[in-house]
Amino acid sequence: MVVFMMSEPNVALQMQQPWIKFGTDAGGMDPDSVTSMAHPRSYGTFPRILGRYVREQGVMPLEDAVRKMSAAVATRLSIGDRGVLREGLMADIVVFDPETVIDVATFEQPHQLSVGVRDVFVNGVAVVRDGAHTGAKPGRIVRGPGWQR
């Protein structure tokens, strides 16, 4: 069962609020190795924001959306070594084409990678180059100051 809780105009209004940050509760998946169904957001949360809401609907400027996905989130979670491109900080970077980036996963066919994402760097290491996974897995768990054992 799929339940939709907000209308599209309400989603757009919420996205425009200065205190809103973008995130997802979905885990990353490899479409070539999964055997179960998934929510489309596992593959397309951020490309949907960039393609549908920024480019197609003009809900907000691209710069605001990128900030709400990166620096604003890192600041809110008090993760000081991420979120902006600055010497000495962790380099988590997504290189995308703002003219083509969009999600394509659906509820019927959720295991589809988004388009328009060219390169991804995690901790400064390329994990996606020209749309293909490099095999590198430099990621690690990032814990904010509120984490306790």
- The pTM (predicted TM-score) of the whole model is 0.89
Give residue 92's pLDDT: 93
12 with 57: CB under 8 angstroms? yes
27-72 residue pLDDT tens: 777 777 787 888 888 888 999 999 999 999 999 999 999 999 999 9
Cα–Cα distance, 80 to 103 (Å, whole number):
29
pLDDT at 4 over 70: yes
Task: For residues 120-137, give the mean pLDDT.
Answer: 95
Task: For residues 94-114, give the mean pLDDT.
Answer: 93
Residue 128 belongs to some domain of the structure: yes
Give residue 3's pLDDT: 59
Of the ranges 21-30, 93-102, 132-141, which one carries the lowest mean pLDDT score?
21-30
Residue 60 belongs to some domain of the structure: yes
Task: For residues 80-101, give the mean pLDDT.
Answer: 95
Cα–Cα distance, 41 to 139 (Å, whole number):
20
Residue 143 belongs to some domain of the structure: no
Spatial strand order in the sheet of 93-96: 93-96, 117-122, 125-129, 132-133
How many domains in the chain?
A: 1
What percentage of the chain exceeds 90 in pLDDT?
68
Cα–Cα distance, 59 to 47 (Å, whole number):
14
Residue 148 belongs to some domain of the structure: no
Give the domain extent around 62: 8-19+41-133
Residue 138 belongs to some domain of the structure: no
**27 SS3 class:** coil
Residue 121 belongs to some domain of the structure: yes
Residue 127 belongs to some domain of the structure: yes
Give residue 148's pLDDT: 82
Residue 56 belongs to some domain of the structure: yes
% helix, strand, coil for the chain, step of 5: 25, 15, 60
Mean predicted lDDT score pLDDT of the chain: 91
